[in-house]
Amino acid sequence: MFYVIGLGLGDAKDISVKGLEIVKRADKVYLEAYTSILSVGQQALESFYGRELVIADRDFIEQQTDVLFDGANEKEIALLVVGDPFGATTHTDLVLRAKNLGIPYKVIHNASILNAIGCCGLQLYKFGETVSIPYWTQGWEPDSFFEKILSNKSRGLHTLCLLDIQVKEPTLESLTKKVKQYLPPRFMSTSEAAKQILQIIDKKEASAEPNLEKSVICIGVARVGSECQQIQACPLSEMANIDLGPPLHSLVIAGDLHPLETEFLEQFQTIPSS
């Protein structure tokens, strides 16, 4: 059996009882370290689970699935992922590959940012399409996600923005070499995301295209599910200057607010609401 087990968002203890039972008995357990991270590291997980974990980085997940699936028809192989297994398309692809190879699989679900974002007080059924905001580089500044934010906003819906994570990204120079060199890990903050959105707004204003107000209420969340979870609600223009500390961060652009949502958000505001 091939298992894909969600770890939740906080620490080692967020794994489900069912998931922990599988981890303890599985023949081999991989820890996916590509699409997200926990607030604790590999050592803390191994200590709590009582067994060794094999790190599965980006190259392994994308290029060595034959190794990942090796023996899964006769043994129990588990892949641990932060959040919920189907919170990332990477894991959907792995399940499809297992199915095509005739390998039996089971998915053990857990909390993900897609449902835990309700911690900020916005009602989950009022969220529109989720978007991803990538890091910009010189000459590459994609902004297609902005149109989705506008579309959600026009219907009064909130937008959850998932912020870029870059782990084990090869340097441009190493792409032509036999031995890869990697850039330091980077995790986009809510302030960085807000600054990029504000730049897009400035460009739209200059071209008189449909736009977003800089005063739109947004909510920054950091380390959701952990003991040091932090939430801040403020206008987008203010979010660009707010530091929510270590990763992981997510940003919400609010749509139309119900009175209960407004009341709940008041506890996260540091400036008077208009």
Is 9 flagged in the annotation as binding?
A: yes
Does 87 show up as a binding residue in the annotation?
A: yes
202 is in an annotated binding site: no
CA–CA distance, 6 with 29 (Å, rounded to integer): 13
> Is 84 assigned to a binding site?
yes
Residue 249 marked in a binding site: yes
Determine the Cα–Cα distance for residues 26 and 109; give it in Å rounded to an integer.
17
Residue 224 labelled as part of a binding site: yes
Candidates 107, 124, 108, 128; CA nearest to 116 is 124
Q: Among 237, 254, 252, which residue's Cα sits nearest to residue 156? A: 254
Residues 108 and 85: their CA atoms lie apart, in Å, by 7
| Dihedral sign computed on CA atoms, order 56, 111, 19, 107 | negative
- State how far the Cα of 32 lies from the Cα of 52, in Å rounded to an integer: 14
- How many angstroms separate the Cα of 204 from the Cα of each of 139, 192, 198? 18, 19, 10
Amino acid sitting at position 146: F
DSSP state of 269: B
102 is in an annotated binding site: no
109 is in an annotated binding site: no
The number of CA neighbours under 13 Å toward the Cβ of 230 is 15
Backbone angles phi, psi at 124, to 5 degrees: -60, -35
Annotated binding site for S-adenosyl-L-methionine: 9, 84, 87, 112-113, 163, 224, 249
Annotated binding site: 9, 84, 87, 112-113, 163, 224, 249
